């Protein structure tokens, strides 16, 4: 059937001339070669570009082309061999494959139409090029920003050092002066005021550094146990002048159920409250600003001292200034102070939510501007009119609140004032946990028969060397000093001190190099080196320790830090002064102060009336002028009035004058 012998092949037919046969052979042969080359190319493309969509259609089309080429080969074959059935069968298969390929192509048309055109490809190419250009610019901008950030960090580190260095002398020498028993209580209180002011300035410097940490995403909580009541008193001391200057009533309203001691980040809580209260005072022209504190669970509880109306009515013609509600004032904290049990197991620590509300009678906030409050560098129309601030206070405050596990909200009515409220999660520590930290252990001397330790102070600042010498020498330590690292190494080699206080930034040889050279010797390994630095960044600590220092103290320091490090590394033991508990020193002072109408009766009625007017107006300058007129034989009255005036407790003076 395949070999049809009854047919005469074209190649033997007399009608087909040799030229015609040759033409068919050449044309069919070249066509077959062309057909066979196409699938080879298609197969190569499919192999190399497996990502091309619909690549199977190329293989199907290749099979169709191969069959087409085969039909042309058979055309040549059948010129001399009558295999027409084979030729026809091949053509039939070719027809089926071509038909199937055509059908599949039709089905692929919609998908093929969505393939981007050359113009679209060109557009995509341009977009890619543009994106690469933008990415290159962003990379360059990132490098520029990182360089600027490094420059800013270096600037902040330098400014931190320059600002903290004089503070070290201020705070340090006030501690030395406080140890001098020749000062009167009045002058010791002045020293305390200087110390507290310096501590506040230090907190402000730390806050600036905290802002840079926020930008770098390196903010962490520093959890510690502290006296919440004392923090509120500190805020009063800081803000009373602002309130008095604007004739505003500043009220601190604390529920009796609020614990005195809590564990959270004191610095961040102080900054939050300071920002909110400062804003409230700044934007309030008349009326009052109130800080209210309560527990997050349970009803609002009034304290043991009565409600606001009772408090206000107890002092006629109450002056604009500071008022306290519910036991938060220093003179009456006994009612709400934590009492320590003498026996029994201490309670387990608990976690509670504290709610803080800052309420003012200011102009209020327009509802359309609410969304600007917590945006960095944004200010409301009222804020822009004051031309003060950067617009960072509220965003930073809310960031800190969120970091402390809480949330900040605001309620405001235009013309009726605003209420900024936030809650934070705090731990209420065990009683004994706080009790161990209550007493200020002020070192009096070394214990009897204590071995003599040699201490070397290496610092390029004379004031800092004098500070440490004044602190350590009276206790019985042998002290020598050096003003740079090279001198320090020379004294260490000849004198062999037990411990070195090493400043890290010095001329000639700095503290890092001096420490490394000392620690490189066997004798140096046995010498304790404590780094002293005014750099506030934590990276500085790791640098000093990696240089070989055994410990680290940041300037400005408290005397307790120096004594604790000596005890830790040398085993030094001390004799301590008998001191009042922390947080009760001011309380003790006010409890011992007694001002009555009879005490004031030694002065003329006209003088008493002038004192009443000055105290009612919150004028400390005028009150001090009147105190200067008191005869010296009434020293107790002078001291009492000066103590109350120095802490702006004018309400106590008014209360004494108006006693029945």
> Strand 528-533 and strand 551-554: pairing?
parallel
Segment 232-289, tens digit of pLDDT: 888 887 787 778 878 888 888 888 888 888 889 888 898 899 889 988 888 888 888 9
Q: Which residues of 273-298 are buried (b: 16+ CB within 10 A; e: fewer)?
A: bbbbbbbbbbbbeeebbbbbbbbeee
What own/partner pairs with CB < 8 Å and gap ≥ 24 does 15-21 have? Answer: 21/79
Q: Three-state DSSP class for 182?
A: coil
As a whole number of angstroms, the distance between CA 110 and CA 52 comes to 16
Flag residues of the chain having pLDDT under 70.
1-16, 50-59, 111-117, 152-154, 156-165, 168-169, 179, 200, 203-219, 297-349, 372-392, 431-441, 535-540, 578-594, 646-648, 660
Q: Which residues pair with 482 in a beta bridge?
A: 458
Start-to-end CA span in the chain (Å): 142
As a whole number of angstroms, the distance between CA 359 and CA 633 comes to 46
454-458 β-sheet, strand order: 478-482, 454-458, 499-503, 528-533, 551-554
Paired tokens of 25: 């052979």
User: How many C-beta atoms lie closer than 10 Å to residue 135's C-beta?
Assistant: 10
Paired tokens of 7: 């047919």
pTM (2 d.p.): 0.47
Q: Assess contact for 485 and 510: CB atoms under 8 A.
A: yes
As a whole number of angstroms, the distance between CA 525 and CA 519 comes to 5
Could you tell me the CA-to-CA distances from 37 to 25, 30, 42, 45, 626 in Å, in that order? 18, 11, 9, 13, 116
Q: Assess contact for 412 and 418: CB atoms under 8 A.
A: yes
Residue 528's nearest CA partner among 563, 565, 580, 564 is 565
How far is CA 58 from its chain centroid? 62
Residue-range domains of the chain with CATH: 10-113 (no CATH), 220-333+350-438 (3.30.565.10), 443-565 (3.40.50.2300), 593-657 (no CATH)
As a whole number of angstroms, the distance between CA 19 and CA 282 comes to 112
How far is CA 465 from its chain centroid? 33
């Amino acid at each position: 059937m395949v070999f049809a012998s009854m047919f005469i092949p074209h190649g033997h037919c007399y009608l087909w001339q040799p030229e015609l046969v040759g033409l068919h052979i050449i044309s069919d042969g070249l066509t077959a070669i062309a057909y066979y080359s196409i699938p080879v190319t298609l197969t190569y493309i499919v192999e190399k570009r497996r990502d091309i969509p619909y690549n199977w259609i190329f293989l199907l089309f290749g099979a169709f082309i191969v069959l087409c080429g085969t039909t042309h080969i058979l055309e040549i074959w059948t010129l001399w061999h009558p295999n027409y059935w084979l030729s026809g069968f091949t053509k039939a298969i070719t027809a089926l494959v071509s038909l199937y390929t055509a059908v599949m192509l039709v089905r692929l048309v919609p998908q093929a139409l969505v393939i981007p055109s050359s113009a679209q490809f060109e557009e995509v190419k341009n977009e890619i090029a543009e994106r690469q250009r933008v990415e290159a610019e962003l990379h360059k901008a990132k490098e520029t920003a990182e360089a600027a950030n490094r420059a800013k960090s270096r600037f902040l580190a330098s400014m931190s050092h320059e600002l903290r260095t004089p503070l070290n002398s201020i705070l340090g020498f006030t501690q030395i002066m406080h140890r001098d028993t020749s000062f009167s209580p009045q002058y010791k209180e002045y020293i305390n005021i200087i110390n507290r002011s310096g501590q506040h300035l230090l907190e402000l410097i730390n806050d600036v550094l905290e802002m840079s940490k926020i930008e770098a995403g390196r903010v962490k909580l520093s959890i510690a146990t502290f006296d919440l009541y004392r923090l509120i008193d500190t805020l009063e001391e800081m803000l009373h002048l602002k309130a008095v200057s604007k004739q505003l009533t500043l009220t601190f309203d604390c529920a009796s159920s609020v614990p005195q001691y809590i564990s959270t980040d004191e610095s961040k809580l102080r900054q939050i409250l300071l920002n909110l209260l400062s804003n409230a005072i700044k934007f309030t022209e008349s009326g009052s600003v109130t800080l209210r504190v309560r527990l997050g669970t349970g009803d609002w509880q009034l304290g043991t001292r009565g409600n606001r109306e009772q408090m206000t009515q107890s002092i006629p013609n109450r002056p604009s200034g500071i008022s306290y509600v519910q036991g938060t004032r220093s003179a009456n904290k006994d009612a709400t102070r934590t009492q320590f049990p003498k026996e029994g197991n201490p309670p387990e620590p608990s976690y509670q939510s504290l709610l803080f509300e800052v309420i003012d009678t200011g102009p209020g906030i327009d509802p359309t501007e609410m969304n600007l409050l917590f945006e960095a560098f944004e200010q409301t129309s009222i804020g822009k009119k004051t031309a003060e601030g950067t617009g960072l206070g509220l965003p930073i405050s809310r960031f800190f609140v969120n970091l402390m596990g809480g949330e900040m909200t605001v309620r405001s009515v235009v013309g009726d004032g605003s209420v900024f409220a936030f809650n934070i999660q705090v731990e209420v520590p065990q009683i004994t946990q706080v009790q161990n930290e209550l007493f200020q252990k002020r070192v009096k001397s070394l214990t009897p028969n204590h071995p003599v330790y040699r201490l070397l102070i290496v610092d390029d600042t004379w004031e800092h060397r004098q500070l440490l010498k004044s602190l350590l020498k009276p206790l019985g330590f042998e002290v020598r000093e050096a003003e740079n690292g090279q001198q320090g190494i020379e004294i260490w080699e000849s004198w062999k001190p037990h411990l070195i206080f090493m400043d890290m930034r010095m001329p000639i040889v700095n503290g890092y190099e001096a420490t490394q050279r000392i620690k490189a010797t066997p004798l140096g390994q046995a010498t304790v080196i404590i780094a002293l630095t005014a750099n506030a960044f934590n990276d500085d600590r790791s640098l000093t320790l990696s240089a070989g220092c055994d410990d680290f103290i940041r300037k400005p320091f408290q005397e307790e830090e120096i004594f604790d490090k000596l005890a830790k590394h040398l085993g030094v033991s001390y004799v301590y002064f008998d001191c009042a508990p922390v947080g009760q020193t001011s309380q003790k002072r006010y409890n011992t102060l007694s001002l009555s109408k009879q005490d004031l009766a030694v002065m003329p009625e006209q003088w008493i009336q002038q004192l009443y007017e000055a105290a009612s107006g919150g004028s400390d300058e005028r009150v001090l002028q009147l105190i200067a007129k008191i005869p010296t034989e009434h020293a107790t009255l002078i001291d009492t009035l000066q103590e109350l005036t120095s802490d702006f407790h004018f309400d106590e003076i008014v209360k004494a004058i108006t006693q029945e």
